[in-house]
Amino acid sequence: MRIHLTLVLTLLTSALFAGGSNVSAVGRNGVSYFSIDRGMTWQVGNSNTQEYINGVATDHYGNFWAVGASGQVLKSEDYGAGYSILHELTDEIFNAIDIDQQGRIVIVGANGSIYVSDNLGSTFDKVGPDTDVNLLDVNIDNPDLWVAVGVRGMVFTSEDSGKTWVAIEEVFGSSNFNTITYTTEGTFIIAGTLGALFTSKDGHAWNPGMFEEGFKSVIEDLASDSNGDTYAVGWNGAAFHSSDQGESWTRLVTGDTQRLTAITLSGSRVVMVGFRSTILSGNGNEWILHDDFGRDHLMEVATNDLPDLTVDMRRVEGCSQIEITVSNRGPGRLTEKPYTDSNVGVLISSENNNKHVYYISLSDLDPGEKLKNKGTVLKHTIDLNISSPLNVRWGLNGIVKDLDLTNNSASIGECISK
């Protein structure tokens, strides 16, 4: 008797959320564009504001958050297609926002403005240093040390999750620090005007560096990924890449001369945005210019963190059982929606007559909802006392737009039973 088991992952959802991570680009006068395919193609979004939008970030559920003029805080729950205004916290201009995996949000802006939320944006508290320095960027990827940077080479740190902030007593020069990133290897990198570049392992002692000999232009944004790569973009189409925590840099040839203002990394793709609606996407070597969106100035771009579910299968106990392994490899988390949809689960059917012989919903497969957290691995064993060939299908028949199913097929090959 031959039993051939094949595992197929199927995502049935709306065309808008066809799969893969989404990208949101925002800018002046409320301009907004979004991509559902990691920056390959783009559509016009709706920000519901005419104010400048200067910063955008994503939470661990894949929602986009944006900030800008008039103290506005906006949120998109449809992955960048549309935003709504949640808060107008101040008359000051907000310049940047960052969100950690615990749902804490930090916003920085003009005149030393720092606002912190520890409940994923339900409420915000005004904190921050006694300063009138315009803060331009903030990074909270290191849970033990949050860092904000601003004009005139100012750097502020917080060791208590944003409750108090202290200026670093170090001479950085007169450059404005526009951007900060934190690498997976534990290095802070800041950059800004006049080619300014500094790195630090602890956020307190900083070492100067340079992008290339004689480079004195402006770097607007930095971005790092889990592979140890860091990218920088700036004026006149300047773009650089580093694979050694910012110690050395290689200039990228993009073919563009616009002022590049922001960069995000989406899987293996790099997405840059800038003035005159410039959007560049590529793999680091080859680039596509998306230039059919008018002449709006884009100021920031971000990629949402979708859960990356993979499913594997193997035979156990001869041919009588199979073991299904479901993993959330991150970087995002599942929301509650898949657990409340009875059509989301594992379906086994006969290959010959397509008759369903077994089904288990996600809520039954994962009653403790452990797959909400990245890094979770679940195993489920199924008795297969059936002689006919079978198909195993990961059925997603509802609109489950917060899943990124990278491993969309797998096979355990043939099973021969004597």
Strand, helix or coil for residue 407? strand
Q: Residue 414 and residue 3: Cα distance in Å, rounded?
A: 6
Q: Residue 389 and residue 352: Cα distance in Å, rounded?
A: 7
Per this entry, what is the length of the chain?
418
Strand, helix or coil for residue 340? helix
Q: What pLDDT does residue 355 have?
A: 66
C-alpha distances out from residue 102 to 26, 59, 71, 333, 368, Å: 25, 9, 23, 11, 19
The DSSP bridge partners found for residue 208 are 198
Q: What pLDDT does residue 332 have?
A: 62
Q: What pLDDT does residue 381 have?
A: 87
Q: What is the pLDDT of residues 132-168, one digit of tens each?
A: 999 999 999 999 999 999 999 999 999 999 999 999 9
Q: Residue 105 and residue 57: Cα distance in Å, rounded?
A: 10
pTM over 0.75: yes
Q: What pLDDT does residue 268 have?
A: 77
Q: What is the CATH architecture assignment of 21-303? A: 7 Propeller (2.130)
What is the 8-class DSSP label of residue 304?
-
Q: What pLDDT does residue 1 have?
A: 27
Determine the distance from the C-alpha atom of residue 103 to the mean position of all C-alpha atoms in its chain, rounded to a whole number.
14
* Residues 390 and 357: beta-carbon distance below 8 Å: yes
Tokens linked to 48:
């519901």
Q: Residue 110 and residue 105: Cα distance in Å, rounded?
A: 17
Q: What pLDDT does residue 415 have?
A: 55
Neighbours of 12 (CB within 10 A): 11
Residues lower than pLDDT 50 in the chain: 1-20, 396-412, 418
Residue type, position 281, single letter: S
CA atoms within a 13 Å half-sphere pointing along the CA-CB vector of 244: 6
15 φ, ψ (degrees, to nearest 5): -65, -25
Q: What pLDDT does residue 409 have?
A: 40
Report the relative pairing of strands 298-303 and 23-27 from DSSP bridges.
Answer: antiparallel
Q: What is the pLDDT of residues 26-73, one digit of tens each?
A: 999 999 999 988 888 899 999 999 999 999 999 877 889 999 999 999
Q: Residue 242 and residue 246: Cα distance in Å, rounded?
A: 6
What is the 8-class DSSP label of residue 102?
T
CA–CA–CA angle 249, 261, 279 (5° rounding): 100
What is the 8-class DSSP label of residue 415?
E
Q: Residue 148 and residue 134: Cα distance in Å, rounded?
A: 10
H or E element in which residue 130 lies: none
Q: Residue 230 and residue 246: Cα distance in Å, rounded?
A: 7
Helix, strand, coil fractions of the chain, as percent rounded to 5: 10, 45, 45
Strand, helix or coil for residue 4? strand
